């Protein structure tokens, strides 16, 4: 039998590797994975806009690499998918550093200073050279003043810097007058993505800090675990081959429990509806977010349901992780169990939406009188009824209009209309959560106005001003204003 070595053509292979589906945020996350695998606890990302000379620089304070290790790291497939990896190694195929970089730029230079020896080494891929000469020429210097200046920021105590230049995929039209604004927008999107992907590692497990242009990236918790109204379901565990998969469901607070700022942040990069569903983590690093992993449909009524799915790197083969580490496929043996857990958290989320933030039905709740509208389940179906025990309604029934402005009462009922409940009960069509009043800021202004009118009525009836305010801030629809209690009380007393 005769054999022939048939290496892939450099020019065509590079073109293929540039089209694996990365965008700028996922590409940078892949580069940062290498920094974390090298033991870095700080990573700095610097975006520099200079039209055609724009660049992106990633600097870490990891252990660095020897010249031999750097050359190996710059080769495609430097570490295979079957090789055992440490718990902090977020790599998979030995391709990420190269394919992520190639997807965004035509020149990628890496300088590393080995912590143990102080050895300095530099290697560069220039795709113009590779494609022109159709050879895998890996250059061993950084012979440009721009690269030397940028790479001089590599920590002398040990670390690695990755420089991207000729950003043809990041800035396809660098001289366009709108290019700078578009570049800045990509920076903002990247910051949001990094805060989501590495959220559990930023200042938490692993104590990692990531900075973008000098500003610390803030972690984003999709499960709002610090909010006391978040419903946490028990964690369940399933064995899949040699690894254990941990599943924990969360039902986020009803919007009536959230301030405007907290509500905006809870929506995440893609909004409340799209961010519902499963969040799959490998070694505490987010792989995929939103959607139900092919086991269910994204629907408006389940927008409060989110599920955390955890596994370690020994489960890579079972989950069929892709090169970008942006997709995971559910193992067949886990589908039934995962679907069951998804259905459970969806049901609990639907219950919270129907009952305006309560984890139980109104009939089971100890604060029945806090809800303006009650959801009643009868044999003939579900219907809504004004709660006669609500303090504002009670005062109105006892005194007629009295000191209560009839227009104020109508506005009060409009604001308290449970749109999400109606959505869950009647239809799956999108709804306007502002109730036709415009932006959330406009809604909050309306709520404050009706709160003041209701407060005046209660004070006129003999309640102390602070007691009246506490009573109103504890009930629907004014719960979300509790964060501005002192400001409102000052305005009312004034």
Q: What is the mean pLDDT of residues 477-489?
A: 67
* Contact in structure between 220 and 192 (CB atoms under 8 Å): yes
pLDDT score recorded for residue 147: 83
Residue 210 and residue 73 share a domain: yes
Which of 354, 387, 420 marks a domain boundary?
Answer: 354
Output the average pLDDT for the chain: 82
End-to-end alpha carbon distance in the chain:
96
- For the chain, percent of residues with pLDDT exceeding 70: 74
| 223 occurs within a structural domain | no
Residue 424 and residue 401 share a domain: yes
pLDDT score recorded for residue 468: 80
Question: CB-based contacts of 323: which residues, under 8 Å, 6+ apart?
Answer: 20, 92, 93, 95, 96, 99
| 221 occurs within a structural domain | no
Describe the crossing of helices 260-267 and 440-460 by its angle, rounded to 10 degrees. Answer: 150
| 226 occurs within a structural domain | no
For the ranges 165-174, 177-186, 476-485, the lowest mean pLDDT is seen at 476-485
Which of 337, 354, 371 marks a domain boundary?
Answer: 354
Q: Which comes out higher in pLDDT, residue 436 or 448?
A: 448
Res. 356: pLDDT tops 50: yes
Extract the tokens encoding 486. Answer: 């002192």
pLDDT score recorded for residue 359: 43
Extract the tokens encoding 423. Answer: 């959505």
Residue 141 φ/ψ, nearest 5 degrees: -150, 170
Residue 336 and residue 260 share a domain: yes
pLDDT score recorded for residue 323: 61
Residue 32 and residue 133 share a domain: yes
Q: What is the mean pLDDT of residues 135-146?
A: 81
Residue 204 and residue 350 share a domain: no
Whole-angstrom distance, CA of residue 419 vs CA of residue 425: 10
| 481 occurs within a structural domain | yes
Residue 310 and residue 243 share a domain: yes
| 225 occurs within a structural domain | no
- Which domain CATH number covers 69? 3.30.565.10
Extract the tokens encoding 129. Answer: 């050279």
Rg (CA), the chain: 28
pLDDT score recorded for residue 400: 60
For the ranges 150-154, 439-443, 453-457, the lowest mean pLDDT is seen at 439-443
Residue 194 and residue 240 share a domain: no
pLDDT score recorded for residue 365: 38
Res. 141: pLDDT tops 80: no
Q: Is the peptide bond before 477 cis (omega within 30 degrees of 0)?
A: yes
Whole-angstrom distance, CA of residue 85 vs CA of residue 37: 9
Note the pLDDT tens digit of each residue in 190-249. 999 999 999 999 976 568 999 999 999 999 999 999 999 999 999 999 888 778 899 999
* Contact in structure between 10 and 135 (CB atoms under 8 Å): yes
Whole-angstrom distance, CA of residue 214 vs CA of residue 197: 19
Q: Work out the angle at residue 295's Cα, subtended by the Cα atoms of residues 292 and 300, and round it to the nearest 5 degrees.
A: 50
Neighbouring CB atoms inside 10 A of 140's CB total 13
Note the pLDDT tens digit of each residue in 311-343. 987 777 777 666 655 566 888 889 998 999 999
Which of 354, 372, 401 marks a domain boundary?
Answer: 354
Residue 347 and residue 367 share a domain: no
Segments of 290-447 assigned E as strands: 305-311, 373-378, 381-386
Residue 382 and residue 302 share a domain: no
Res. 91: pLDDT tops 60: no
> Predicted confidence band at 428 (pLDDT cuts at 50, 70, 90)?
very low
- The DSSP annotation for 93-148 comes to SS-HHHHHHHTT-SEEEEEEE-TTT--EEEEEEEHHHHHHHTS---B----SHHHH
Residue 3 φ/ψ, nearest 5 degrees: -130, 150
Whole-angstrom distance, CA of residue 316 vs CA of residue 327: 11
Residue 414 and residue 338 share a domain: no
Q: Specify the number of domains making up the chain.
A: 3
pLDDT score recorded for residue 491: 72
pLDDT score recorded for residue 461: 74
pLDDT score recorded for residue 277: 96
Q: Which comes out higher in pLDDT, residue 76 or 396?
A: 76
Q: What is the mean pLDDT of residues 362-374?
A: 50
| 222 occurs within a structural domain | no
- Which domain CATH number covers 294? 3.30.230
**Sign of the torsion formed by the C-alpha atoms of 268, 270, 271 and 276:** negative
Q: What is the mean pLDDT of residues 351-355?
A: 80
Res. 357: pLDDT tops 60: no
pTM given for the model: 0.71
Residue 400 and residue 344 share a domain: no
Q: Which domain holds residue 380?
A: 362-493
| 29 occurs within a structural domain | yes
For the ranges 150-159, 329-338, 379-388, the lowest mean pLDDT is seen at 379-388
Res. 437: pLDDT tops 60: no
pLDDT score recorded for residue 430: 43
| 98 occurs within a structural domain | yes
Residue 424 and residue 349 share a domain: no
> Predicted confidence band at 72 (pLDDT cuts at 50, 70, 90)?
very high
Q: Which comes out higher in pLDDT, residue 113 or 419?
A: 113
Whole-angstrom distance, CA of residue 112 vs CA of residue 70: 7
pLDDT score recorded for residue 363: 38
Collapse the DSSP code of 81 into the 3-class scheme (helix H, G, I; strand E, B; otherwise coil) and give the result: coil
């Amino acid at each position: 039998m005769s054999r022939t070595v048939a290496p892939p053509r450099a020019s065509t292979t590079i073109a293929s590797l540039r089209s694996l589906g990365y965008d700028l945020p996922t590409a940078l996350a892949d580069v940062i994975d290498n920094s974390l695998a090298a033991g870095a606890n700080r990573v700095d990302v610097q975006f520099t806009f200079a039209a055609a000379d724009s660049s992106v620089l990633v600097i870490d304070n990891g252990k660095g690499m020897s010249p031999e290790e750097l050359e190996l790291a710059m080769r495609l497939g430097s570490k295979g998918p079957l090789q055992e990896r440490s718990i902090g190694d977020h790599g998979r195929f030995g391709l990420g550093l190269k394919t992520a970089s190639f997807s965004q730029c035509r020149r990628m230079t890496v300088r590393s200073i080995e912590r143990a020896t102080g050895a300095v080494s530099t290697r560069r891929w220039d795709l113009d050279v590779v494609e022109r000469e159709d050879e895998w020429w890996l250059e061993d210097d950084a012979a440009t003043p721009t690269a030397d200046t940028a790479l001089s920021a590599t920590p002398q105590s040990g670390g690695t810097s990755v420089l991207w230049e000729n950003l043809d995929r990041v800035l396809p039209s660098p001289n366009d007058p709108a290019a700078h604004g578009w570049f800045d927008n990509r920076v903002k999107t990247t910051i949001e993505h990094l805060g989501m992907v590495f959220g559990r590692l930023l200042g938490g497990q692993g104590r990692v800090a990531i900075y973008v242009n000098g500003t610390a990236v803030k972690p984003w918790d999709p499960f709002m675990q610090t909010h006391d109204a978040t419903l946490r379901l028990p964690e369940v565990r399933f064995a899949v081959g040699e690894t254990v998969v941990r599943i924990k469901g969360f039902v986020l607070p009803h919007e009536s429990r959230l301030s405007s700022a907290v509500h905006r942040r809870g929506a995440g990069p893609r909004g409340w509806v799209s961010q519902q569903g499963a969040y799959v983590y490998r070694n505490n690093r987010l792989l995929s977010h939103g959607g139900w992993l092919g086991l269910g449909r994204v629907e408006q009524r389940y927008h409060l349901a989110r599920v955390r799915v955890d596994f370690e790197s020994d489960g890579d083969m079972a989950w069929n992780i892709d090169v970008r580490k942006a997709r995971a496929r559910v193992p067949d043996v886990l589908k039934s169990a995962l679907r069951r857990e998804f259905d459970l958290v969806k049901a609990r989320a639907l219950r919270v939406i129907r009952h305006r933030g309560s984890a139980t039905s109104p009939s089971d709740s100890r604060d029945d009188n806090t809800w303006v509208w009650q959801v009643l389940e009868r044999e003939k179906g579900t219907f809504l009824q004004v709660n006669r025990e609500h303090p504002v309604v009670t005062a109105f029934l006892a005194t007629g209009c009295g000191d209560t402005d009839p227009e104020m009462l109508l506005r009060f009922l409009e604001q308290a209309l449970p749109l999400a409940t109606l959505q869950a009960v009647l239809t799956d069509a999108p709804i306007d959560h502002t109730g036709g009043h415009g932006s959330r800021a406009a809604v909050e202004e309306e709520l404050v106005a009706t709160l003041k009118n209701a407060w005046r009525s209660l004070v006129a009836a003999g309640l102390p001003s602070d007691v009246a305010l506490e009573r109103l801030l504890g009930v629907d629809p004014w719960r979300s204003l509790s964060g501005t209690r002192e400001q409102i009380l000052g305005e009312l007393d004034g």
